[in-house]
Amino acid sequence: MTQATLIDGKALAGKVTDAVAEVAARFTGLRGRQPGLAVVLVGEDPASQVYVRSKGRMAAKCGFHSVTLRQSDDLSEAELLSIVDQLNGDDTIDGILIQLPLPDHINADAVLNAVDPAKDVDGFHPVNAGRLASGDIDTPLIPCTPAGIMHMIRTIHGKDLSGMAAVVLGRSTIVGRPISQLLLAANATVTIAHSRTKDIQALARTADILVVAIGRPQMVGADWIKPGATVIDVGVNRIEDQNLGTTQLVGDVDFDAALPIAGALTPVPGGVGRMTIAMLMANTLKAAEARAKQNV
């Protein structure tokens, strides 16, 4: 029985960060300063702590000036806005990342919208999202997870997706919407599905490229996948085995069921998640270069 080609996020992310480190070293030599990334973490969320630590480690590996600002969860919105304001004005910082989720008493949109769009390495600011929605994929900072997904798709199909049907499951501003814009910019014919879509399984089965970002553990089974399709599993779900008392990380796709049907498939873990951090580094370097050019 043939099996899907596995798209190795770990290896691909390694190549991206190696290239970023090389260009960052040149930037540092030329500009007399390192590209700078500031990560702001509010509260003690354990998953966020893990993400922030690995972002800091990767930034150091890429040769960046890396700052992590850890704040207690009783920080007020005004205090957080003041931190963002300081980072906006700090010339040693090119990228600002506000780790989500924020505590309930803070309006996340207000904080994300306060980040200087030129330093918005998450690509969530309306200026960057708007440019992307208008079809500009060169100027804006593009959200890291969708940027990483496109990188993975390019390894299988190249840059031009003309004639291909892409179906995106999920319409979040972090994944579903921006990946749809990127697929469209690459000439795919794109359909976006969500929780109100009728007969979503049959729709998914029409996809040459299926991107799944719904946060539902292993929901997409064999019957959802067109034979030979490229399947990108964005989901990260922790499920418990009651009998063994252990937890396991799984995607939104039933990996074992998809493996003999799909043409190419991303694993969880070791797939899209790896690419997200690598693209954050690439975005920080892009922001640093754009800011340096402006200051010349």
Instruction: Give contact residues for ligand NAP (rule: CB under 6 A).
Output: 145, 169-172, 174-176, 194-196, 200, 213-216, 234-237, 272-273, 276
Q: Tell me, what amino acid is at 63? A: G
Shortest distance in whole angstroms from residue 214 CB to ligand NAP? 4
Q: Two tokens at 232?
A: 């990108």
55 is annotated as an active-site residue? yes
In the complex with ligand NAP, the residue whose CB is nearer, 63 or 148, is 148
Q: DSSP letters of 236-271?
A: -EEEEETTTTEEEEE-SB-HHHHTTT-SEE--SSSS
99 is annotated as an active-site residue? yes
Write down the catalytic residue from 34, 94, 99, 119: 99
Shortest distance in whole angstroms from residue 185 CB to ligand NAP? 19
* Tokens 């975005």 belong to residue: 283
Shortest distance in whole angstroms from residue 18 CB to ligand NAP? 20
Write down the catalytic residue from 55, 119, 226, 286: 55
Cα→Cα distances 274→25, 151, 214, 262, 267, Å: 22, 12, 18, 21, 11
Q: Which residues does residue 274 pair with via DSSP β-bridges, in sequence order?
A: none
61 is annotated as an active-site residue? no
Q: Which residues does residue 169 pair with via DSSP β-bridges, in sequence order?
A: 193, 212
In the complex with ligand NAP, the residue whose CB is nearer, 36 or 176, is 176
In the complex with ligand NAP, the residue whose CB is nearer, 35 or 176, is 176
Residue count of the chain, please give it.
296
In the complex with ligand NAP, the residue whose CB is nearer, 63 or 273, is 273
DSSP 8-state secondary structure symbol assigned to residue 205: T
Shortest distance in whole angstroms from residue 179 CB to ligand NAP? 9
In the complex with ligand NAP, the residue whose CB is nearer, 54 or 139, is 54
Write down the catalytic residue from 34, 94, 120, 122: 122
Q: How many helices (H) and strands (E) does the chain have?
A: 10, 11
Shortest distance in whole angstroms from residue 59 CB to ligand NAP? 17
The residues annotated with a catalytic role in the active site are 55, 99, 122
